Amino acid sequence: MKAIVDCNSFYCSCERLFRPDLQHKPVVVLSNNDGCIVSRSDEAKAAGIGMAVPYFETKPLIQKHNISAFSSNYNLYGDMSWRVMETLRMLLGDASKVEVYSVDEAFIDLGNIPAEDLYNTAMNIRTTVEQWTGISVSIGVAPTKTLAKLANYLAKKDKAATKCVKVLATRGEQVTAMKQTRVGNVWGVGWAYAQKLIDQGITSAWELSTMPEEWAYSHLGGVTGARLIRELNALPSRQMEKPLVNKKMIATTRMFGQPVTDLNDIKEAIATYTSRAAEKLRRQHSAAKVISVFIVPREQNYEVSFRRGATVSSHITLPAATSSTPELIKPAVQLVESLYEQGKVYKKAGVMLAGLEPDESIQGNLFAAGPQKYHRLLMDMMDNINFSMRDDVLKFATSGLARNWKMRQELRSKRYTTRWEELYEVS
């Protein structure tokens, strides 16, 4: 049996954890640059706050219902996510039985739990996670990941009746649950496929489960669709996955805090993003051979100003793989110069590092000088100082000082668990 542990309104739960006065009150959390609503408490949903709606459009409703709004606080959310996942590992006694699926979700393996004990086990996990971390979770249990996600959907749909736990152990329970679930709410069925299925008369998860696998190969994405059909029929096709230790590609991308037109500002942003990506690269003891840069102009038609223009990108293959920040910044800035167009307004930029290989066994180049050892010593020193002191105490001049292009976080709460100067105070 598999289970999915899903944190309820995770970002909002993290904000409430250090603001007891907001318990049972409406709360929303905003996306980058305070743009859209990305997390809503149940009370905010009841007040009519929609998901992914621009913040400025919801301001009248937020003020009317006295809803507390917060900028995204990724330091806090990342740390609280780690605490939840560590709690799950401790409860199961085996890290391999926990698959972190996202910042607020994890699959867990309950294959050794008797069917009659599944509900109590799941309830114990839910209660313990909330007691140890302060984060409430919903749990769905079923023979497959897809059915577990479906069970979790039903558990969250009626929290009062289910107490945030739903177990689909028998085929009868699974069929009943699938008949209650619209096909668009099935894990793995996107909006476009949902419309396609509805047009063919398939409106529920149960109706989808009765379709033959051969049909899925032709009409539901090939192998992926066939696996979905099998999972709905309680035939496991998605196994527990081991955590990815080393990434195959590293990216750092951000929206600008305000529209940018100046080339130097974009250069500063790209240099900063390259520095961040290089830190991640060194953290997993890798070096990159390919660096890509992209910039995104704003849509010229101001009537659709919330759309973005076509992404402009380019890449370069380095003579030899490297993890040295200055050796990565130089080509990144050169790429920006080739992509930038005078007179355009830009909203976003990013850097991606690919062609990764272990930094201890970098393939040499007969026609290029070997890496300088002092570069790695310098980078290690900078990483250690920045990690201990935070906020880029040491940085390259190319990254700029004023950084007027930085992402807006005007409503961000304190980083209670990751900054000494922002620790929660008890009076």
DSSP labels for 330-361? HHHHHHHHHH--TT--EEEEEEEEES-EETTS
C-alpha to C-alpha distance for 417 and 83, rounded to whole angstroms: 11
Number of alpha carbons in the 13 Å side-chain half-sphere of residue 150: 32
Number of alpha carbons in the 13 Å side-chain half-sphere of residue 9: 24
The Cα angle at residue 23 between residues 21 and 28, in degrees rounded to 5: 100
List of domains in the chain: 250-399 (3.30.1490.100)
% helix / strand / coil in the chain, to the nearest 5? Answer: 45, 20, 35
The predicted structure's pLDDT at residue 302: 47
291 SS3 class:
strand
What are 287's two structure tokens? 């070096």
What are 83's two structure tokens? 């605490």
* Among the listed residues 244, 245, 240, 239, the one whose alpha carbon sits nearest the alpha carbon of residue 97: 240
* Among the listed residues 400, 391, 348, the one whose alpha carbon sits nearest the alpha carbon of residue 35: 348
The predicted structure's pLDDT at residue 211: 93
C-alpha to C-alpha distance for 358 and 363, rounded to whole angstroms: 9
What are 398's two structure tokens? 């190319």
Render each residue's pLDDT in the chain as its tens digit; 427 residues.
999 999 999 999 999 999 999 999 999 999 988 889 999 999 999 999 999 999 999 999 999 999 999 999 999 999 999 999 999 999 998 888 999 999 999 999 998 999 999 999 999 999 999 999 999 999 999 999 999 999 999 999 999 999 999 999 999 999 999 999 999 999 989 888 999 999 999 999 999 999 999 999 888 888 999 999 999 999 998 888 877 667 889 999 988 888 899 999 999 999 999 999 999 999 999 999 999 999 999 876 544 444 555 788 999 999 888 999 999 999 999 999 999 999 899 989 999 999 998 888 776 666 666 556 657 788 888 888 888 777 778 888 888 887 778 877 889 999 999 888 888 888 7
